[in-house]
Structures are given as structure tokens and as C-alpha cells.
Amino acid sequence: MIYTCTIDTALGAMTASAENGALTGLWFIGQKYYPSKTGTWMDECNYAVFETLRLWLGEYFSGKNSMPDLKIEPQGTPFQKAVWEILLKIPFGQVTTYGEIAKKLAIMRGLPSMSAQAVGGAVGHNPISILIPCHRVIGSNKSLTGYAGGIDKKKALLQLETQTLF
């Protein structure tokens, strides 16, 4: 059974999903790649995962750098999951580029190179916004490109974390 809950945040309402005690999704309502098959999901805002998530989001939007004690299980291809694992290693308040992630992935896989565009596709399909920090990935020219929740939200998240203007 997939459980769901709508959580209000400083940047707008988000939909969370969880299954078997693990967070499986966190999306800004209406964002690009918002899940389409939610008809069988059960609204259960008291599910323990969501209570922990709500507390952490409150702390995060207050500028606190911590990771929640939450099991996460994003659903995706092996390639997407490899990219998301790299995203999890980007420290709070820091950024990296799609090209840098592609280089890391190529080294991990023993390849001479990897497509930054393919990495961008995987980053864009990240199903657990903020916790898997896809907002910390920027263009090679330091531009704020490609955020499924919208560039305005990406900019706000980066400003929150870095205390600088992006």
C-alpha cells in the first residue's frame, strides 16, 4: 500500500509518498514529472514517515543542516539510482555541475566518459525533492538550469542553504 500526505512548506505544498516504512516520493504539487498514477494511494498523514518528514522540513526551512532519520527508497532505473546516490553526497550549502556528476559516474563505471545530458535527465526525474538534493546541481557556467519544481524554487533552496543570492 502506498500512503500519501500533503505537507505545507515555505515554498508551497508538497506531496509525499511512502511504502513499507520508507519515503518513496516528495514533489512540489504540480511540478514537472509529478506522479500520474496516484488514484490508488491512501491519504494517511499520520503515517510515521510523514510525521518525521514534516518535522525535518520545518527544521530545513529554518536553515538547519541535518538529515532526517528516514529510510528512503526512490523508484527508478539503476542509472537513475546511481546518479541519486551521488546527489546524496553533495554537502548542504554546496553545488556541483551535471558534468562533474557525469565524470564521477564514468569513473565509478570504468568508462572514458558519461553524458552530462543523461545525468541531467536522471537528476530531473529525482522523486524525492530536497532530501535527494537535486537543487544543488547547476550548469557548467554556474547557471541555474533544470529543476522540476521550477527555477524559482531551486533559487530559493540554494539561497536558504548558502545564504547568498543566486
Q: Residue 61: which region, alpha, beta or left (left: phi > 0; alpha: psi -120 to 50)?
A: alpha
Q: What number of H helices and E strands is found in the chain?
A: 5, 6
Catalytic residue of the set 134, 137, 148, 158 = 134
Query: CA-CA distance, 112 to 147, in Å (whole number)?
Result: 28
Query: CA-CA distance, 78 to 155, in Å (whole number)?
Result: 29
3-state secondary structure at position 104:
helix
Indicate if 5 belongs to the active site.
no
Q: Where are the beta strands (DSSP E) in 10-95?
A: 12-19, 22-28, 42-43
- Which residues are tagged catalytic? 134
